[in-house]
Amino acid sequence: VQYFGELKEKVKVFRNDKITISEIQKMNPDKIVISPGPGRPEGAGISKEIISTFRGKYPILGVCLGHQCIGEVFGAEIIRAKRIMHGKTSKIEHDNSKLFKNIPLGFEATRYHSLIINRENIPDCFEISAWTDQEEIMGISHKKYLVEGIQFHPESILTGQGKEILNNFLKLASAFGKNYKS
C-alpha cells in the first residue's frame, strides 16, 4: 500500500471478509490488488470470488496468497513447496514481459510462503512469467485477461525491484481497455 501511495495512487484497503462483490461493483475501481495473507486460497474470504467476477472487467494483481487464489480460480493446483520460505530471499528469473519489463534478471525477492502453484499441471490459460532456479513458479500472467500473479512480496525492503514491478502493473492497468480483451 505504501509503494502505491508513493506512486501517487489512491488506495482503499478492505479485509477479504469485510466487503461484498456488490460494494466493489459500486466503487467501480480502476484496478484490484489481492494482497498476501495467511492460509490457503479457500480461506481467503471473497478473494477467489472477486477474481472470478471481475476478470476481464478490471486489471487484477495477486500477491502471494492472491497469486495462489488466481491460480486456483483458473484451475491450477496449489501444493506444498519443497522448502518453506518465510522471510527468505531468492533470485528471480523472468520473461521480461508485462510486470517484469525492464527488471533485471536474477533480482532478489523476499518470499513468505509454504505453498506454491504446481508447475507440473499449470493451466494453458497462463504464461509462467517468473520462476526460481528451482523452477518454482514466482509469477503467472493470464493469456486473455489482465490478471497477473506474483508469489513473492514486492513490498518487502529486501525485494530490490518491488516498486518498479508495482509501477509496471500500474502502467498495464492504465493501458487496460486499449490493449486487452475483456
| 64 is an active site residue | yes
The active-site residue out of 67, 94, 142, 153 is 153
Buried b (16+ CB within 10 A) or exposed e, 64-89: bbbbbbbbbbbebebeebeeebeeeb
| 153 is an active site residue | yes
Buried b (16+ CB within 10 A) or exposed e, 30-47: ebbbbbbbeeebeebbbb
Nearest Cα to 166, choosing from 17, 31, 15, 26?
A: 31
CB 91 within 8 A of CB 108: yes
The active-site residue out of 64, 94, 113, 148 is 64
Contacts of 182 (CB under 8 A, 6+ apart): 56, 57, 145
The active-site residue out of 72, 136, 148, 155 is 155
CB 76 within 8 A of CB 125: no
Residues involved in catalysis: 64, 153, 155
